[in-house]
Amino acid sequence: MFNRRKFIKATALSTALLAIDQKSMAAAIPTTNGKAVNKPIVISTWDFGVAANAAAWKVLKANGKALDAVEQGVWVPEADESNQSVGYGGLPDRDGKVTLDACIMDELGNCGAVLALEHIVHPISVARKVMEKTPHVMLAGDGALQFALEQGFKKENLLTPASEKAWKQWLKEAKYEPVMNIENKLYDKASPNKLPGNKYNHDTIGMIAMDANGNLSGACTTSGMAYKLHGRIGDSPIIGAGLYIDNEIGGATSTGVGEEVVRNVGSFLVVELMRQGYTPEAACKEAVMRIIKKKPETAKNIQVGFLAMNKKGEYGAYAIQQGFTYAVCDTQKQDLVIKGKSYY
């Protein structure tokens, strides 16, 4: 039977609990109150992030928007043919096709992505067009290409002679079989991020910037895992997996074997942990630990790294394996490369 007194008591109690909960949550949310914010600032994955950050910095130091900074920053590795894991010159899939994944996210939560896009040197800019010119978030494959061409992007051959040579070399030993992470079989165990002959197997540029106004944006772009099955998509173009920005809290991005990042919605997890008060490094570490806990045997032989920045301009990273680096550019230092801490 409905008991009015009990109901009022219960409602009052839950309202009080809610108030306490909101109060403690507010206390856990990192605020910038009373602390100097390190801005503008841009961070990005791997050593090749240094050159990308330099391009982003030009935008930031001229009081430009973080969104423009991250787009223009990642143009550098996308156009660099010597970089075989991002954009033009990327290693192809097992069928010899260079398929690119990218996404971008701004301070308002707007985002856009392209998946398995072929023939376009700057997938990040197509992703931005998806964000700005369509009611959608993601376009894939032929549809993404059709959209890019309609937007005036030029169709180009992205398979460079060096990447074609590497692919043909791979074909000699590789069996065509739908095995996840087939490329792992070619790992040089002493140097798990590289193929024999020092060919980059996979790596992504993930970039997060905070502009002079304190607004955050991020970009993530890659050619994905070398010799993947045609049509395979990793974490990099998936909002929440390869990249996530929350302008109240911070941003995160990832690199490494995307399947494990997707499984754990990695970048969103890192941002949510920062919301709970974790430092960027502690949040990245916890996301790595989730991957290890879920699949300990897989984790032993793969690399995944997370990179994050909070609203104060503090940053940090953590990876499964040694060897993950990231680049930082702020008012203090323009070409800083930091070795990320790792589990192994």
CA 300 – CA 292 distance, rounded (Å): 8
Which positions are annotated as active-site residues?
204
For CA atoms 33, 36, 41, 44, the dihedral sign is: negative
Distances (CA, A) of 209 to 36, 61, 62, 91, 327: 17, 12, 14, 27, 12
Q: How far is the CB of 283 from ligand ASP (least distance, A)?
A: 18
Distances (CA, A) of 85 to 3, 7, 37, 277: 66, 61, 33, 34
Task: Count CB atoms within 10 A of the CB of residue 36.
Answer: 8
Q: How far is the CB of 129 from ligand ASP (least distance, A)?
A: 21
CA 224 – CA 221 distance, rounded (Å): 9
Q: How far is the CB of 217 from ligand ASP (least distance, A)?
A: 19
Q: Which is nearer to ligand ASP, 93 or 281 (CB)?
A: 93
Tokens of 124: 């990040």
CA 79 – CA 121 distance, rounded (Å): 6
Q: How far is the CB of 266 from ligand ASP (least distance, A)?
A: 10
Applying CB under 6 A, which residues contact ligand ASP?
Answer: 202-204, 222, 224-225, 234-236, 255-258
